[in-house]
Amino acid sequence: METNSGFTMSLPVLVGKNYDRWQVQMKVLFGYQEVLEVVQNGVQLVEDDAPEVQQSTSRESKRKDCKALFMIHQCVDESNFEKISSAKTAKEAWENLEKCYAGAEKVKKVRLQILRREALTNQMKSCGEEIREQLIVEKVLRTLVSKFDHVVVAIEESKDLEQFKIDELQSSLEAHEQRIKERIQDRGEQRPQALQAYSYKRHSSQEISARKERAE
């Protein structure tokens, strides 16, 4: 797009996921092109018999509105153009897009709440929120299943949670989980031996009884 100063600028294009950034850039562009007021407040309409000064002001407002609407058309992709193709003014087109993406903003806030509950730190930061690592550690400790109760107690009694890192917590829990698996495996190996010993003892007892009967 060539400006009044003669240089060319690249226009921001709304493609769906960049609305927040796009609307900020567009407001700057509207201001530069001196059409921001008409986008925000709409066209000033006057009666046909209004004084010439007012009619001249109205004509200028309509001209700016057409300019602003054209700019919006040029700065959206095809799917977003369908959302504003029936708009008659720049203000109407701008508000239509705001309504469309207001829902997306609500979804983003709901998603942020879910991420906060799940304590997924990295994803929360991508949504623009930062949390202290201590909150993550405390959240994980509160949501562990009962088999980790004694681990939680040991950590709370022996560690300073203000300084305890999530990586350290993960390592402690993984070590505990590994010990549980090893114990289960050990019990699985000991069980066949116990069954074998029991079977041998039972058969031996039967054989002894049979011998006694034959002797009698």
Q: 112: burial class by Cβ within 10 Å (0-12, 13-18, 19+)? A: middle
pLDDT at 24: 93
pLDDT above 70 (res 126): no
* pLDDT band of 155, cuts 50, 70, 90: confident
In the chain, the number of structural domains is: 2
In a domain, 69, yes or no: yes
Q: What is the pLDDT of residue 10?
A: 84
- Do 159 and 114 sit in the same domain of this protein? no
Q: Are residues 27 and 101 in the same domain?
A: yes
Residue 9 domain flag: no
Q: List the single range of 16-20, 85-89, 96-100, 187-191 with lowest mean pLDDT.
A: 187-191
What confidence tens digit (pLDDT) does each residue in 10-65 have?
899 999 788 989 999 999 999 999 999 999 999 888 888 889 888 899 999 999 99
Residue 5 resides in a domain: no
- The H or E element spanning position 174 is helix 166-215
Q: Residue 55 is part of which domain span?
A: 19-118
Write a three-state SS string for 58-87. HHHHHHHHHHHHHHHHHCECHHHHHHHCCC
In a domain, 123, yes or no: no
Contact 140, 152 (CB under 8 A): no
Q: Would you say residue 2 lies in a domain? A: no
If asked whether residues 109 and 33 sit together in one domain, one would say: yes
Q: Is 166 found in the same domain as 106?
A: no
Is residue 41, in this structure, part of any structural domain at all?
A: yes
Confidence category of residue 103, pLDDT binned at 50, 70, 90:
low
| Domain end residue (candidates: 63, 95, 118) | 118
Q: Match 């201001």 to its residue by tokens.
A: 31
User: What pLDDT, on a 0 to 100 scale, did the predictor assign at position 193?
Assistant: 55
Q: Are residues 189 and 155 in the same domain?
A: yes
Overall pTM > 0.75:
no
